[in-house]
Amino acid sequence: MQRRDVMKGMGVAAAVAASGSAGQAAAAARRKRYVAVGVGSRNRMYQEALWGPHKEHGELVAVCDVNPGRMALVGKRALEAKAAAPKPWLAADFDTMLAEHKPDAVIVTPPDGFHHDYIIRALDAGIDVITEKPMTNTAPKAQAILDAVKRSGRHIRVTFNYRYSPFRSQVKDLLMSGEIGDILSVDFHWLLNTVHGADYFRRWHSHKAISGGLMVHKATHHFDLVNWWLSDMPVAVSAVGKREFYTPEMAKRFGLSGAHERCLTCPEKAKCSFYFDLAADPGLKALYLDNEKYDGYHRDQCVWRREIDIEDTMNVIARYAGGTTLSYSLNAFNAWEGYTVAFNGTKGRLEHRVVEQAMVAGASKQTGDDAITTRIIPMRGQPRDIEPWTGAGGHGGGDAVMLADIFDPNAPADPLKRAADERGGAASCLIGIAADKCFETGLPVKIADLVTGLNSPDWPKMPNHIDPVPMPARTDQV
């Protein structure tokens, strides 16, 4: 029975257990202790994991943030989950928190531009790190993180939950199997609609100094998928980008007088279909609107503001060490949400398309299922549709599988090697960082010119570019 047959029949999580070593070391004698820095919407996933399915494996003992109101909300939610409320610490007391609680790991989920500071301080304190993607948002910060890993001997887990979505894991499995031979090129196009896409222009993500723009904050997911799907490292990037939709000029073309400060106080909210009622979502109201008095952060800033400095339209060409080339695009104002990706190999082509039912980030109500199609087209052969692997929960079922891989001490070996460390974290964000540099200079960028000491992760084995491949069938035999 082949690996993919096992996975299809048993589900991804069970298949990994079947293909890994039968039952690794017994559960740790005590629950691991975690602290978290940054308790915005992205941290909820880790809170709920440690208060729910993984409460036997770990505990959230402390949280750290600049906003005391949000930390109080975490304490309230913990008690509602019948868990001990984590001790709150202001960001200025981060090092004191580490010294007092002596955690096994720090969960890092503040805005992207601040990741590096907490990551490095935790590593230098001898503590491992679990961080949201992107690992960081500039090349100097990436270099500082790699240097800290080297001198501390500790490591980073970068939580790329897209790798764990069953249908994306299935794509990796198909590529590993050699169905289309070795991969010569990839065409990858990601579409954000005007619900999810617009939301990046309301938040801190709209400032490149904090987020790195969508090339870093959002596309790091996609670049990591390609790196992992190919089991390869990027070496050079060329890119162009622009902001043309989310502008004051476009607001006027839509019949508005122009940009305003925020939706809550907008005098033209009745005319603007991009109006976002922050008070209407209980979760976002509790997390942001009720606590903005502490830090002045407005979660509902106008998407047409002139001071926005990120792009909404981006195109990238990347070259890989093994010779594969990637053509990628990201647009933030499309009519539907999702992506299409095609792998062109020496034995055929794999086409994979996902139409997502994306909602506003962090909103309480997340509904809808992804529409997934995957097709193998042999060279000069008949196409065949592949029944997609599916799962339940966030990110197509990927979140639950990833959280088990992180927190469960009995997690089995993973033949797809979906866990990412600082090497994978750097390799993905550096493509976006290089693209941002291309936007500024108009010149191609080599990854080796951005950082030193970046080694390749321990990737799963893929078909190589050397072994013989079968001659395609004659056209008169197809």
- What angle do helix axes 166-177 and 3-10 make, rounded to 10 degrees? 160
Q: What's the average model confidence in pLDDT over 87-91?
A: 98
Domain that holds residue 124: 22-158
**Cβ density class 81-100: b for 16+ within 10 Å, e for less:** eebebbbbbebeebeebbee
Give the whole-number percent of the chain exceeding pLDDT 70: 91
Residues 69 and 117 both lie in one domain: yes
Residues 173 and 49 both lie in one domain: no
pLDDT at 335 over 70: yes
Which of 106, 140, 158 lies at the terminal end of a domain, its last residue?
A: 158
pLDDT at 23 over 80: no
The CATH number of whichever domain residue 115 belongs to comes to: 3.40.50.720
Amino acid at 428: S
Q: Per residue in 115-157, pLDDT tens?
A: 999 999 999 999 999 999 999 999 999 999 999 999 999 999 9
Is residue 242 in a domain?
Answer: yes
Bridging pattern class, strands 58-65 and 87-90? parallel
Is residue 286 in a domain?
Answer: yes
Which of 131, 158, 185 lies at the terminal end of a domain, its last residue?
A: 158
Starting at the edge strand found earlier in the chain, the sheet holding 128-131 runs 87-90, 58-65, 32-37, 105-108, 128-131, 156-158
Predicted local confidence at residue 397, as pLDDT: 80
Rounded CA separation 286/289 (Å): 6
Residues 61 and 154 both lie in one domain: yes
Predicted local confidence at residue 393, as pLDDT: 75
pLDDT at 365 over 80: no
Q: Token match 């610490």: residue? A: 89
Predicted local confidence at residue 358, as pLDDT: 59
Q: How is residue 141 written in tokens? A: 């910060």
Pick the closest to residue 112 from 146, 137, 148 (CA basis). Answer: 137
Residue 27 — pLDDT band, cuts 50, 70, 90? very low
Q: Per residue in 216-270, pLDDT tens?
A: 999 999 999 999 999 999 999 999 999 999 999 999 999 999 999 999 999 999 9
Residues 237 and 279 both lie in one domain: no
Mean pLDDT over each residue of the chain, to the nearest integer: 92
Residues 113 and 225 both lie in one domain: no
Q: Per residue in 402-418, pLDDT tens?
A: 999 999 999 889 999 99
CA dihedral sign of residues 223, 226, 227, 232: negative
Which of 107, 141, 158 lies at the terminal end of a domain, its last residue?
A: 158
Residues 190 and 285 both lie in one domain: no
Q: Per residue in 150-195, pLDDT tens?
A: 999 999 999 999 999 999 999 999 999 999 999 999 999 999 999 9
Is residue 361 in a domain?
Answer: yes
Residue 440 — pLDDT band, cuts 50, 70, 90? very high
Residues 271 and 325 both lie in one domain: no
Q: What's the average model confidence in pLDDT over 416-440?
A: 98
SS3 207: coil
Residue 111 — pLDDT band, cuts 50, 70, 90? very high
Is residue 226 in a domain?
Answer: yes
Residues 242 and 252 both lie in one domain: no
Predicted TM-score of the model (pTM)? 0.92
pLDDT at 25 over 70: no
Pick the closest to residue 160 from 457, 474, 376, 362 (CA basis). Answer: 457
HSE, side-chain direction, 13 A CA sphere, residue 432: 30
Give the whole-number percent of the chain exceeding pLDDT 90: 86
Predicted local confidence at residue 17, as pLDDT: 39
Residues 327 and 220 both lie in one domain: yes
SS3 70: helix
Residues 370 and 229 both lie in one domain: yes
pLDDT at 8 over 60: no
pLDDT at 372 over 70: yes
Is residue 14 in a domain?
Answer: no
Is residue 354 in a domain?
Answer: yes
pLDDT at 272 over 80: yes
For the chain, the domain total comes to 3
Predicted local confidence at residue 26, as pLDDT: 44
Predicted local confidence at residue 433, as pLDDT: 98
Rounded CA separation 351/4 (Å): 17
Residue 15 — pLDDT band, cuts 50, 70, 90? very low
Is residue 273 in a domain?
Answer: yes
Is residue 121 in a domain?
Answer: yes
Predicted local confidence at residue 198, as pLDDT: 98
Residues 368 and 422 both lie in one domain: yes
Tell me the sheet residues that pair with 446.
236
End-to-end CA distance of the chain: give it in Å, rounded. Answer: 29
Residues 44 and 149 both lie in one domain: yes
